[in-house]
Amino acid sequence: MFKGMAATAVTTPLFPELAQAAPAKKKLKRVIFFLQNQGFDPYTAIPKGLKEAVSLDSFDFQEPIKALEPLKDRIHIINGLHGLHTSPSHSAFFGALGGYRGGIGSPPHGATIDHVISQHLPETILPHLCIGMDSLPNMQSRPTLATLSATGPGKPIFMHSNPQNLYQSLFGSISTGEVRERYEARSNVLQSVERIALQNSRGLPEEEKERYSGYVDGFRDMNGLRGKLANISDHLKKFAPQYGEKITHPEFETDWHDSLLDLGISALKSGITNTLTIGSGRGEIFGAWRGLGIDQQGHNLGHMKQPDNPIWVKIRQYNCRMLVKLVKELESMPEGDGNMMDNSLIVYTSNNADKQHTSGANWPFILIGNPEGPIKTGQFTQMEKRPINDLYTTLLHAAGMPVDRFNMEKSLAANYHSKTGPIETLLT
C-alpha cells in the first residue's frame, strides 16, 4: 500500500482534504494591442506621486485615463522602458511592436510581437485582425495601410480602415441587399484574380516567381477566409454589429472609429480571431478626432504638450472609453468557468514612445488583464533602462512561449540593457 502511495505521490496528495494546492493561473487565449500615435506622455498615465513599484489601490488616476480607474485591480502601469534602438522620431512604425529600427517607408525587419503571440494562441479562422483609425479622407482614400504589424521580414500586415469593406469581408455572407450584392461581386472578382495571378506566375523566372507568389498567396488567403466564414454563417449571425448610418454615412471620422472598434469586438466575441491590433492614427503622424470637438489634426497635434492639454485629455479619454468597452464586451461572453476577459490581455501604448519628437528614452505601457492570469495586476512598476523587447519577451512567457529574448541579438543586448528572459517583477 505504501509503495503504491509513493508511486503516485507526485500527482496525488496523501490527504487531499488537507492539501493547499496553488490556484491555477488563467491561460491567455486572446490579446489586444491598442497603439495611439503622437506618443504617450507618462504624466498622463502615472498617478501623481508614484516613482517606484507600488500597488495602485490607494491612488487616483489622472484625468486622461480616469475611465480606467474602476479597472485598477486589473491594470499594470509600466514606466521607464525604452526604445532607443528603434529610432522612433515621428514614429517607430513596425519597430514599435517589432523592437527594432523603424522608419517611414521602411519594410519590417521581422515579425512583430502581436503576430508572434497570435501563433501561440488557440487557432482561429483569422489569426490576426488589424484595424486602423485616421481622418475620414485618409480612411476613404487609403482603406488599407500597413505600418505597425508584420508576419516576418518584408511581410507587413495591412490594417483595415474602411468599415464598409471590413463588414463585407467578415459578415458579407450573412448580409442582405446591397451589402450582399457587393460581397458576392467582390468574391467573384477575387476568385478570378487568383486564377489569373496563378496562371501568369507559371512562366516567370524563379526569382520573380518567388516574389510573385506572395500576391498569389494573398488572394488565395482572402478567398479561403471568405469560404470559411461562409461555412459558419449561422454562428456569425449572433455577433454581427448593426450596419447603420455610422458606417454608411459618417458625419465625422469618429463614427468610423467607433464602427471599426465594434467590428473588432465582434470578431473577438465570435471567435473569428483571437488577436486584434488597433492603430489610432495608423502608426503615422496624422489622425483626426473632429467628432470630439477637436479641429486640430495630424502632425500639429504632436507639437502640443499632452499633460493638462484639453485636446489630448479628450483624445486619451476617448481611447480609455474604447478600452473600457472592450473589457465590458468580453466580460459579457461566458467562457469556461468565467468570461472571455478572464483569459484576455489588453496592451495600451503608443507607436512613438512618450511624444512625437522623441528619442524613445521612455516608453509607457498600460496592461489590462485578469488578476488570476500570468501578469501581475493592480500595480505600478518603474523600470530602469530595459528595452521594450524585454516586455515583449515577458508577454511571450505569459502566452506560454518562453524565450530568452525577442528580436534582440545577443551582441546588442548589453548595449541596450536587455536581459535574458522575462521581466520577473511583472509576472505572478
Query: What is the rounded distance in angstroms from the CA atom of residue 324 to the CA atom of residue 196?
Result: 46
CATH 3.40.720, domain 26-165+240-426, yes or no = yes
Residue 6 has pLDDT above 50, yes or no: no
Residue 406 near residue 396, CB atoms below 8 Å: yes
pLDDT of residue 15: 31
Residue 319 near residue 348, CB atoms below 8 Å: yes
User: Which of 226, 303, 239 is CA-nearest to residue 267?
Assistant: 239
Phi and psi angles of residue 43, each rounded to the nearest 5 degrees, phi first: -75, -10
Domain ranges of the chain: 26-165+240-426, 176-239
Strands 334-335 and 338-339: antiparallel
Residue 187 has pLDDT above 70, yes or no: no
pLDDT of residue 9: 37
Condensed to tens digits (0 to 9), the pLDDT of residues 201-218 reads 777 777 776 666 666 666
Four-residue CA torsion sign, 307, 313, 317, 318: negative
pLDDT of residue 26: 75
Instruction: Let me know the angle formed at the C-alpha of 292 by 288 and 298, rounded to the nearest 5 degrees.
Output: 15
Give pTM, 2 decimals. Answer: 0.88
Percent of the chain with pLDDT over 90: 69
Strands 379-382 and 75-79: parallel
C-alpha cell at 186: 467582390
Residue 223 has pLDDT above 70, yes or no: no
